[in-house]
Amino acid sequence: MASGCYLCDTGHDKISDKNAGKVLGVCENCSILACEAHAQRDPNHPRWICVLCDTSLLTAAGITTSNGSSLNSVLTVLISSAILKDGSRYKTLEQFLEDRPNYSWILNQIDEVLVLARKRFTTDITEPFWFGLSEQGQKLIAAAIIIAERFELSEYDLVETLRILLHDWRSRE
């Protein structure tokens, strides 16, 4: 049954205890329609933003907070300067969660994901990238992975940098 929410209609899990299906807004970033189970209103930078775009923001934040240009990785140039600029407002995962309190459950999984990441990012591309990130950078990108897994997001809906990381992550499960 079509609801109009892009993520409901493509069969994704939802942000806990939120009603799925009733479209409340258009994502300010990517213009998909999204319900309150798949988007949140950002009170500090007022806008309606979907879970897909949150993973892009977290990925960009992880790169910028790690001084991305010095990482010298193809993964840092695959993300657009516009997304990097948008994500650069978040220096830490805690800052991001202040704007998105409905994602507080991410903290329950972050330590486990950080441990697993050391074993899963082992290709010539993902390993040097991951180990070049700062501690906060790793946390921000781990949060993007947690969201992508929780909502079972398609790699093809994600920003290229995260798509490559997630491909490695999933192929080593």
> Which position among 25, 40, 48, 50 is part of the footprint of Zn ion (CB under 5 A)?
50
> Which position among 25, 33, 38, 161 is part of the footprint of Zn ion (CB under 5 A)?
38
CA 40, CA 34: separation in Å to the nearest integer?
9
Nearer to Zn ion, 35 or 113 (CB): 35
> Which position among 15, 25, 27, 83 is part of the footprint of Zn ion (CB under 5 A)?
27
Paired tokens of 42: 């950002």
Residue 15 CB, nearest approach to Zn ion (Å): 9
35 binds Zn ion (CB under 5 A): yes
Query: 36: which residues sit within 8 A by CB, 6+ positions away?
Result: 15, 18, 19, 22, 24
Nearer to Zn ion, 24 or 114 (CB): 24
5 binds Zn ion (CB under 5 A): yes
Dihedral over Cα of 110, 112, 113, 119: its sign? positive
DSSP state string for 10-57: TT---STT---S-EEEE-TTT--EEETTSEEEETTTTEEEEHHHHHHH
Nearer to Zn ion, 42 or 168 (CB): 42
> Which position among 15, 40, 48, 53 is part of the footprint of Zn ion (CB under 5 A)?
53
Binding site for Zn ion (CB under 5 A): 5, 7-8, 20, 27, 29-30, 35, 37-38, 50, 53
